[in-house]
Structures are given as structure tokens and as C-alpha cells.
Amino acid sequence: MGIANIGLNVGQIDSPDPTFTVGTRGAVDSTTGSGVGVKEYLYVKLTASTAYTVGQVVLIDADGVALPSTITLTAPGQAAGRQIGIVVTASASTTAARYAWVQIYGETMILANDTAALNTPLQATANAGEVDDPATAGTEELCGVFLTTTATSDAAFPGFVTYPYVGRTY
């Protein structure tokens, strides 16, 4: 499937029906505005009864359903090779089906632990959607996800994603 700016609104949450087919990819070139370049997004289904926060790392299954990552969900043998996205629009927990765009390429904000260092490999933590630099043996690397500044609190910090996925075990 090609990439195009198809009138996507990355801040839009669709419910109960999707506006696009789950798995659709779209890109926005924002070099004329903020100077950050191309950002690419993937249209996913959000799980019911789960709240989503800007910057959360989500695991995307084969059906296009996104769930905030945790150290349990990325345990060895659980998610190797699974695609990852970054939440760009917050969404409260609800029982209705929801659909949204997650970022898969470009500058973004990434939810990080207060000790996560810039430009180091990252892993999931016990906190939903949060990343940290590796400290726990047996966890999986989140490939293609980098902070561009060291985290100083449990919050979202500037980073970059390049078609991220769950990788090797530490």
C-alpha cells in the first residue's frame, strides 16, 4: 500500500465506526510549518476500556488493534517482531469501539521513565506505554524508538520513531 496525505486528521478519534480501513498509512509533511519534516501514521483500532495518553508506546497486533505496551506484553516470546506505534491523541476509556492514528515515523513525543537516557535502546516498563533504557535482563528491545533528550520525570519527551517494532531479548 502506498503512502499519501489522504485528508487524515491525526488528532481525530473515530467512534463507533472507522473513517479509514484499519491498517491504512498516511503521511504529513510539516517542513513548511514547524520544520520537523515528514511524519507517518498508521490507522488502528483502540481497545475498549483502555485509556490512551499522548506519547504512549502501543503494540499493534495483526488485526490492527493497538494496546499500550508493558513489560509483560513484550516478554520474550510474546511480541517479537510486532509493530509499534506512538499515541498522538489522548483518548479516555470507553466501552465503544474507537479508531485513531498512531505515529510510526518522524519526530514525536514519547512517554518515558524518569531515568531513560537519550539515544539509547529502549524497553517497555511495568507502566502502560512507558519506555526506559535497558535495566532488566529478559526484556525485549523496542527497536526504532529513541529519545532525543534525557527524561527527567515520568512524562512525554521529544524523540524519534523509524517504523518501530519489538526486537531482541536483553
C-alpha cell at 113: 521513565
Write out pLDDT tens, residues 147-157.
999 999 999 99
Q: Which residues pair with 40 in a beta bridge?
A: 27, 105
* Rounded distance between C-alpha atoms, residue 68 and residue 151, angstroms: 19
Q: pLDDT at position 5, please? A: 52
Range of 61's domain? 25-169
Q: Cβ atoms within 10 A of the Cβ of 91, count?
A: 17
Query: Is residue 19 a part of any domain in this protein?
Result: no
Contact call for residues 75 and 144 (beta carbons, < 8 A): no
Residue 45: inside a domain, yes or no? yes
Our count of domains for the chain comes to 1
What's the pLDDT tens digit per position in 93-127? 888 889 999 999 999 999 999 989 999 989 988 89
Is 142 domain-assigned?
yes
Examine residue 20 and state whether it is found in any structural domain, yes or no: no
Residue 57 lies in a domain: yes
Tell me the mean pLDDT in the region 65-87: 86
Task: Assess if residue 49 is contained within a domain.
Answer: yes
Integer Cα distance of 8 and 27 in angstroms: 8
C-alpha cell at 168: 531482541
pTM (two decimals): 0.90
Cα dist from 60 to 7, 10, 15, 118, 156, whole Å: 23, 17, 19, 24, 20
- Domain-located, residue 89: yes
Mean residue pLDDT of the chain comes to 88
8 domain residue, yes or no? no
- How many angstroms separate the Cα of 25 from the Cα of each of 13, 19, 44, 45, 101? 16, 13, 10, 13, 9
